[in-house]
Amino acid sequence: MNQQDQIKKVITQEYVKCAKDPVYFMKKYCYIQHPTRGRILFNLYPFQEKVLSLYKDNQYAITLKSRQLGISTLVAGYSLWLMTFQKDKNILTLATTQATARNLVTKVQFMYDQLPKWLRMKSVEKNKLSLRLKNGSRIKAASSNSDAARSEAVSLLVLDEAAFIDNIDETFTSAQQTLATGGQCIALSTPNGVGNWFHQTWARAQTKENSFLPIKLPWTVHPERNEAWREQQDGDLGPRMAAQECDCDFLSSGDTVFEPEDMTFYEETQMQEPLERRGIDGNMWIWETPDYSKDYMVVADVARGDSQDYSAFHIFDIESACQVAEYKGKLSPKDFGNVLVGAASEYNDALLVVENANIGWATIEQVLEREYRNLFYSSRSQSETVESYMNKWDTDKLVPGFTTSAKTRPLIIAKMMEYVRERSVTIKSKRLVNEMRVFIWKNGKAQAQSGYNDDVVMSFAIGLYVRDTALRLRQQGMDLVRAQLSSFTNLNQRNPAVVTTVDKQKNNPYNIDTPHGQEDISWILK
């Protein structure tokens, strides 16, 4: 055998070895750009080899990882291996922004350029966002708001820093249809709070409730890191951020408005299943029936009117700041107003607080049409500093409902943060705690993570803010506050404390007047 034939034989053997084993392919022929050492061969650590094998053998994999473990680089190498040795592979990488997604494509292109000529498949398309080879295989970068996942048949979907991708629920649902024919999905990220798609998918993967293989990679898997390195991260990042970035700690992660340990406290000590669920879908949850010796407050946030938003209300025991009932559902403004009047009447003609922004006015109009007397009014001229329990017949100064503005919103959120931090409010709703977990600081504003709702949180926060106004008045005397509350009720000169169950049964709070007589609208909740 001449020298040329020997070379061909060796090349053929090497090609076969590379095609069979991505670890061999990367360790021998893939070069990476190291931040301090420059161009070096990608000599995989044992944990990286294991992860690579798991990616190769599983259709869906979700990786909860520490920072700077080289997992994105590993996925880049795996992508290049697929493209080189398999035809017509369509790889799509999605991230929060197109620039972030492009980073993985850049890594693939660098590895591709360093391959020996006999191993490097000829490219037919190469730019900042994509690389296409002659065999039909391709990798492409796109942002999370792109339609790429919907419009293309994807062989491998890479969700890079998945916990930070906006609207990832919708994106993955769309992509799943294209993966149904055998495509792979690799989701990888450091934690970013709880309750979002990445956290929920990870949790379900651990209990085998979905098809994802869970792979956890804390800082300890890296052979060159020790306790001294970990302690340094505490100093550099702060304990909370270090727990997120190094320990893969969900509870310490994310820029959440409410501290994770507080939410855990409510989950473990107060949260409970309701005694009763009303409505076709059980949307109204009740933990306590009316006690006619107590004063209650009903606080409502009205949906904007789009299909993604919900109307919500809470019922509080004013004295104890205890949540006794909650509603979250999709009703028309008029129907929602009727339900509010019914619920407020049922709970001792409770103070009814309705957020009056946007479509909230339609609900308030229905409440006024029902002539409900104990409606919360705020100052027209000073709506940013709510004056509760005022003379509501002074219409020049007052406006029905609660006004949320750029000035009041931070005060509302701050008040709920204070109550939760001091654990001076009783929270029983799982629905509320779940929304609190995805309620984050974004661009300096407290709001729900993209793809989630904050209707239950906001109505609850308004309630605590209004209650705090009442408490400031109570500092001047409990009797005065009770007198002010009572002046807004229409109980036929009777004290709610002595109203009997029989009396309540005679006057159904969910009855409304219609052109055809009285109609019981409680069917909405039954």
> Would you write out the chain's pLDDT as a tens digit for each of its 526 residues?
677 878 888 889 999 999 999 999 999 999 998 878 889 999 999 999 999 999 999 999 999 999 889 999 999 999 999 999 999 999 999 888 888 888 999 999 999 999 999 999 999 999 989 999 999 999 999 876 656 666 678 899 999 999 888 778 878 887 787 777 788 999 999 988 777 889 889 988 998 999 999 999 999 999 999 999 999 998 998 887 888 889 888 766 667 888 888 888 999 999 999 999 998 778 999 999 999 999 999 999 998 756 667 999 999 999 999 999 999 998 888 999 999 999 999 999 999 999 988 788 999 999 999 999 899 988 765 444 444 444 444 445 678 999 888 888 888 999 999 999 999 999 999 999 989 988 888 777 888 877 788 999 999 999 999 998 755 554 444 444 454 455 554 444 444 433 333 344 446 777 777 766 777 777 666 5
Name the packing angle between helices 333-346 and 360-369 (round to 10°): 50
Q: Tell me the sheet residues that pair with 298.
A: 315, 352
Q: How many CB atoms lie within 10 A of CB 47?
A: 18
How far apart CA 116 and CA 147 sit, in angstroms, is 36
pLDDT of residue 16: 94
DSSP code per residue over 228-278: HHHHHHHHHH-HHHHHHHTT--STT-S-BSS-HHHHHHHHHHT----SEEE
Q: How many CB atoms lie within 10 A of CB 26?
A: 27
CATH code, 260-493:
3.30.420.240
CATH 3.40.50.300 for domain 3-245: yes
How far apart CA 144 and CA 159 sit, in angstroms, is 9
How far apart CA 303 and CA 278 sit, in angstroms, is 19
How far apart CA 98 and CA 507 sit, in angstroms, is 61
> Tokens 């651990």 sit at which residue?
206
Pair type for strands 138-143 and 90-95: parallel
Residue 325 three-state SS: strand
Is-contact 524 335, C-beta < 8 A?
Answer: yes
pLDDT of residue 429: 96
- What is the distance between the terminal CA atoms of the chain, rounded to a whole angstrom? 88
Q: Which DSSP letter does residue 425 get?
A: S
Q: How many helices (H) and strands (E) does the chain have?
A: 18, 22
pTM: 0.62
Contacts of 478 (CB under 8 A, 6+ apart): none
Is-contact 89 137, C-beta < 8 A?
Answer: yes
Separation of CA 499 from chain center: 43
- Answer whether 3-245 and 260-493 agree in fold: no
pLDDT of residue 343: 95
pLDDT of residue 480: 45
Name the amino acid, one letter, at 217.
Answer: L
Instruction: Please state the domain extents for the chain.
Output: 3-245, 260-493
